[in-house]
Amino acid sequence: MPTLGSCSFYFPLKVSMAWVAVILAGGKGVRMRSRLPKVLHPVAGQPMVAHVVNALEGLELSRRLVVLGPQTQAVREQLGDGLSYALQPEPLGTGHALLCARDALDGKVDSLLVLAGDVPLLRAETIRALVERHVSSRAIITMLTARTQQTDGLGRVVRDGAGRVTAIVEEREATPAQRQIDEINSGIYCFQASWLWPNLAKLSKSPSGEFYLTDLVQMAVESGQGVESVEASSFQEVMGVNNRIQLAQAEAAMRQRVRERLMLSGVTIIDPLSTFIDASVEIGEDTVIYPNTTIQGRTVIGEGCRIGPGSIIIDSQIGDDCRILASVVEGSVLEEHVEMGPFCHIRPESHLGKRVHLGNFGEVKKSRLGPGVQMGHFSYIGDAQIGANVNIGAGTITCNYDGVRKNPTFIGDDAFIGSDSMLVAPLRIGARAITGAGSVVNKDVPDDMLAVGVPARLRAKGQKADDGQASAEATPEAQSGEDT
Ligand code: UD1
Ligand code: CA
């Protein structure tokens, strides 16, 4: 909410004024050399056009309309139905794209905010400053500009002796002197709709065969109407991505921005340059991220965790005080105080309860491990439901696949699975049951029973073996044979 102290962020539009935002994304993006539409190329894990949409948050807009071409319809699937869409049947230029928006904008529109879909670093504050200037100046066009030495391919802002904007000249049409101009057009503008619509229809083709939106600036100046401009605080923020070199530059800048946001909110990042965190990730205070770590997608990490070095976390929820050392966690939930690593792989749809401990080389897939489960050394648990405080000895494997189906394994609370147990699913092992080291368990084990051998035979705990050898009431450590 705006406060008196931050009134520059207040968006002073009257409700009676209808504002719409139009995002142009109908171009082919040929310079990307890609099958994927340009604006869907991800930057810090999100399509660049999604960053542009996010930057509109907080503005009072009656509509957000995206102009798409026949080859960029996939954008609609990504952005969803919360936005409106218009079709530009052929990519005849930015001026033509905005003309295509017109028909889709039925109803009353007083002012338009027009943006390109390829400026992922644009910040909401900058858009607000542009809109505020447009409202306060009553100009018919207010454009966002920036200063840079990297002017290649960009439209230059031409001003008269008094510093007033007179035109935007595209690089292809610019004279050598105009090419020296270091103020560029960002491709982001506000327009007064009543002036825009009739004049947009008057645009003529440029020598390159496209209808340039930028030609409107000179038309406005020639008709004696004011064109205002706002200079962005950095060029980087309005940098359009046209090729994969610029994509990498945008990626680096966005990732640095994400790291800085997290560090300012209380996350320690030991080595920012080797830490890759998507814009969508949330991390709690006092969590420390060690080097060579990647955190992606819809991941939420709690407070006081230690993540990495060398961990990859994707689309997962990690509770407070977890430790994830050199491990991969995908699409899973970890409750508080879970520890793992080095070299664990938690695959999708897994749920690890409080204080679960996984040591070296553990793989868990689509399984639920109850609180306090211990699995110290090289084991595979797939399609299993494991109760509280179960010990899983070294080398234990759920043999969940019979060549046709994936079969489930159930293990009750406080069971003790000896080292190198092969649990042939479907299988149910009861609470407090024990499996002997090296056993191949292919039949259910009731609560409190012991299963030993290959294939495993059942005994009551404490019962002698058939051959008279002492066995059974072995301590769990002896059954496990495991060095913890
Ligand atoms: C445009 C500007 C240039 C500015 C630069 C800033 C024009 C003529 N030039 O050039 O002054 O410095 O942006 O980055 O406007 N699009 C359509 N339909 C089309 C063509 C483009 O929807 O027929 C969309 C694209 O998908 C893109 C945006 O408009 O999102 C900008 O198009 P692009 O081709 O990248 O323009 P630039 O050459 O970068
Ligand atoms: Ca561009």
Measured distance CA(255)–CA(277) in Å, rounded: 7
pLDDT for residue 11 is more than 60: no
Q: What pLDDT score was predicted for residue 2?
A: 34
Measured distance CA(316)–CA(351) in Å, rounded: 10
Q: For residue 238, give the ligand 1 atom closest to its CA.
A: 14
Here the tokens at position 90 are 């052929």
Q: What pLDDT score was predicted for residue 482?
A: 54
pLDDT digits (tens, 9 = 90+) for 274-307: 999 999 999 999 999 999 999 999 999 999 999 9
In the predicted model, what is the mean pLDDT of residues 50-75?
Answer: 95
Q: Does residue 237's CB lie within 6 angstroms of at least one atom of ligand 1? A: no
Q: CATH 2.160.10.10 in the chain, residues? A: 268-480
pLDDT for residue 481 is more than 50: no
DSSP 261-279: HHHHTT-EES-GGGEEE-T
Architecture of domain 268-480: 3 Solenoid (2.160)
Question: Residue 128 in 3-state DSSP?
Answer: helix
Q: What pLDDT score was predicted for residue 463?
A: 79
Q: Does residue 27's CB lie within 6 angstroms of at least one atom of ligand 1? A: yes
Q: What pLDDT score was predicted for residue 474?
A: 45
| Atom 25 of ligand 1: nearest residue by CA position | 27
The answer to whether 417 and 450 are in contact (CB under 8 A) is: no
Q: Catalytic site residue 377? A: yes
Measured between its terminal Cα atoms, the distance across the chain in Å is: 55
Q: Tell me, what amino acid is at 351?
A: H
Q: How far is the CA of 155 from the centre of ligand 2 (A)?
A: 10
| DSSP percent split of the chain into helix, strand, coil, nearest 5 | 25, 30, 45
pLDDT for residue 365 is more than 60: yes
Q: Does residue 155's CB lie within 6 angstroms of at least one atom of ligand 1? A: yes
Give the β-pairing of 156-159 and 227-231. unpaired
Here the tokens at position 323 are 């430790």
In the predicted model, what is the mean pLDDT of residues 143-172?
Answer: 96
Check if CATH label 3.90.550.10 holds for domain 8-238.
Answer: yes
In the predicted model, what is the mean pLDDT of residues 144-170?
Answer: 96
Shortest-distance ligand to the CA of residue 185:
1
The answer to whether 436 and 456 are in contact (CB under 8 A) is: yes
Measured distance CA(455)–CA(442) in Å, rounded: 7
47 forms beta bridges with 42
Residue 283 has φ and ψ, to the nearest 5°, of: -140, 135
How would residue 364 be classed by pLDDT, with cut points 50, 70 and 90? very high
Q: What pLDDT score was predicted for residue 467?
A: 52
Q: Does residue 97's CB lie within 6 angstroms of at least one atom of ligand 1? A: yes
Residue 87 has φ and ψ, to the nearest 5°, of: -105, 130
Q: How far is the CA of 252 from the centre of ligand 1 (A)?
A: 22
Q: CATH 3.90.550.10 in the chain, residues? A: 8-238
Q: Does residue 240's CB lie within 6 angstroms of at least one atom of ligand 1? A: yes
Q: How far is the CA of 319 from the centre of ligand 1 (A)?
A: 44
The answer to whether 361 and 346 are in contact (CB under 8 A) is: no
What value does the mean pLDDT of the chain take? 93
Q: Considering the entire predicted model, what is its pTM? A: 0.90
In the predicted model, what is the mean pLDDT of residues 406-432?
Answer: 98
Residue ranges near ligand 2 (ion) with Cβ within 5 Å: 118, 240, 242
Q: What pLDDT score was predicted for residue 108?
A: 83
The answer to whether 48 and 120 are in contact (CB under 8 A) is: yes
How would residue 8 be classed by pLDDT, with cut points 50, 70 and 90? very low
Q: Tell me, what amino acid is at 383?
A: D
Q: What pLDDT score was predicted for residue 107?
A: 72
Q: What pLDDT score was predicted for residue 465?
A: 62
* 114 Cβ neighbours under 8 A, 6+ residues apart: 21, 22, 24, 98, 188, 189, 190, 191, 213
Q: How far is the CA of 43 from the centre of ligand 2 (A)?
A: 15
pLDDT digits (tens, 9 = 90+) for 425-466: 999 999 999 999 999 999 999 999 999 999 999 999 887 665
Altogether, the residues listed in the chain come to a count of 484
pLDDT digits (tens, 9 = 90+) for 221-270: 999 988 999 999 999 999 999 999 999 999 999 999 999 999 999 999 99
Rg (CA), the chain: 31
Here the tokens at position 9 are 């962020």
How would residue 477 be classed by pLDDT, with cut points 50, 70 and 90? very low
Shortest-distance ligand to the CA of residue 247:
2
pLDDT for residue 134 is more than 50: yes
Shortest-distance ligand to the CA of residue 238:
1
Task: Scan for tokens 């046209």, then name that residue.
Answer: 242
The pick from 52, 94, 152 for probing ligand 1's pocket by mutation, whose C-beta has the most ligand atoms within 8 angstroms, reads 94
Task: Scan for tokens 């869409």, then name that residue.
Answer: 85
Q: Tell me what percent of the residues of the chain surpass a pLDDT of 90.
A: 89
